[in-house]
Amino acid sequence: MASLATALFTHGRIQTTLTKAKALRPYAEKIITYAKKAALSDDKALKVHYRRLAIAKIHDVEAAKKLFVERASEFLQREGGYTRIYKLGARIGDAAETALIELVKADDKGYDKNKKAAKPARVKKTAGRKAAAAETAAAEASAPSAS
C-alpha cells in the first residue's frame, strides 16, 4: 500500500487492479487527512507530527513533501472523498478487473446525491386487469356449456 500511495501522491492518478484500488482508497485518504490537519494547524510541533505520521505510512519523504506542500491546500474545503475510482474493464493477460484511482480536484463537485432523477409515471394495471376479467367472464357466460 505504501508504494501505491506514493505513486498516487506523486502522479495524481494511477492504474491498478480494482481490488488494490479499493484497498488503497482508505489508506490514502487517512494520509491526506494528516496533510489537511497539518495545514489547518498553527502549532509547528503538530505540523511536524502529522508529517512524520505520513512518512511512516508511505516511506517516501519526497511524496510526503509534495502532498503536504502542494496538494494539501486543495483538500481544505473538502469533507472527505479525496479520491475517485474509475473501473476500466478486464486486463488482457489475466482478465483481472483494472481501475484508475485519482486524486479529486479541489473545485470538483462530483454528483449531487440528493437530486433524484424524474421517473416516468406508472400506469395502473388494475383497470386493464378488471376489463380483461370482465371480458372473459362475459365470453364464458355467452358460450354454451357442454354438459
Mean pLDDT of 56-74: 93
Mean pLDDT of 64-80: 90
Q: Count other C-beta atoms under 10 Å from residue 146's C-beta.
A: 4
Q: Could you give the domains of the chain? A: 2-103 (3.90.1030.10)
Contact criterion met (CB below 8 Å) for 48 and 61:
no
Q: Is the pTM of this model over 0.75?
A: no
Q: Give pLDDT, residue 45.
A: 96
125-143 pLDDT, tens digit each = 556 666 666 677 666 666 6
C-alpha span between 58 and 31 (Å, rounded): 9
76-127 pLDDT, tens digit each = 888 888 999 999 999 999 999 999 999 998 777 776 666 555 556 565 555 6
Q: Give pLDDT, residue 5.
A: 96
Please determine, for residue 57, whether its predicted confidence score (pLDDT) is greater than 70: yes
Helix (H, G, I), strand (E, B) or coil at 42: coil
